Amino acid sequence: MTAFLRQRFKPLLERLARGLAHLGVTPNMVTSLGLAGNVLAALWLAQGRITWAGWLLLFIWPLDALDGALARLRGAPTPFGGVLDSVADRYAELLVWGGLLVYYLNQANPTAILLIYLAAGGSLMVSYTKARGEAQGFRVEGGLLTRVERFLILVPCLLLNRPLIAMWVIAILANFTALQRLWIVFRQASSLPPVNPTTSSQE
């Protein structure tokens, strides 16, 4: 889904990026604006303004792809810009889950609280498994529920004021995806020759 959407909207994103570049807008400014939007969405979720938060997230979603398009237009993403984008993405998800957590704490709904914990943890582990695997030299691509798919599940449910449906789906499938990516790494690692224990390292 990620590759399909990137290819489908690439011409539009490039036109928008050129316009922003002429205005002096930098990729890091776009990233920061998107994160600020997620802060506001989290506040609305905490207040129970579920549908409004859904519309806001839908509105700011293109910023997540626009910063990358703008960086490519300017030459290449800087090392800091790449790290900032990844960190902002993780915080953006946590902010949304945090807003829902506050709302359901006020509702005294233990099932929802547990689902938020599982969904947030699974979402982070999907990204962490990929990052850790690639740091070790493995190719970690795909997975059932990447960030785009999580967004496409969560936002429509927020718009329909049915966040519990999204929470159930993401709590289960995000953790499944993390294990799926771990399996991808395991299969690649199994085909490698044994490593000398004196030269290996562990985190």
Residue 51 confidence (pLDDT)? 97
Rounded CA-CA distance 158/143 in Å is 24
Residue 127: both structure tokens together: 């990204």
Contact 96, 57 (CB under 8 A): yes
Catalytic residues: 89
Residue 97 confidence (pLDDT)? 97
Residue 9: both structure tokens together: 């909207």
Average pLDDT of each block of 10 consecutive residues along the chain (203 residues)?
63 74 81 93 97 95 80 73 87 96 96 97 95 93 88 96 96 96 94 60 44
Chain Cα centroid distance, residue 24: 27
**Which DSSP letter does residue 195 get?**
P
Q: Which of the four CATH numbers 2.30.40.10, 2.102.10.10, 1.20.120.1760, 3.40.640.10 does domain 2-190 have? A: 1.20.120.1760
Residue 20 confidence (pLDDT)? 73
**Residue-by-residue DSSP string for 68-119:** HHHHHHTSS--HHHHHHHHHHHHHHHHHHHHHHHHHHHHTT-HHHHHHHHHH
The structure's pTM equals: 0.85
Instruction: Enumerate the domain spans of the chain.
Output: 2-190
Residue 69 confidence (pLDDT)? 77
**Which DSSP letter does residue 26 get?**
-
Residue 72 confidence (pLDDT)? 74
Residue 183 confidence (pLDDT)? 95
Contact 42, 98 (CB under 8 A): yes
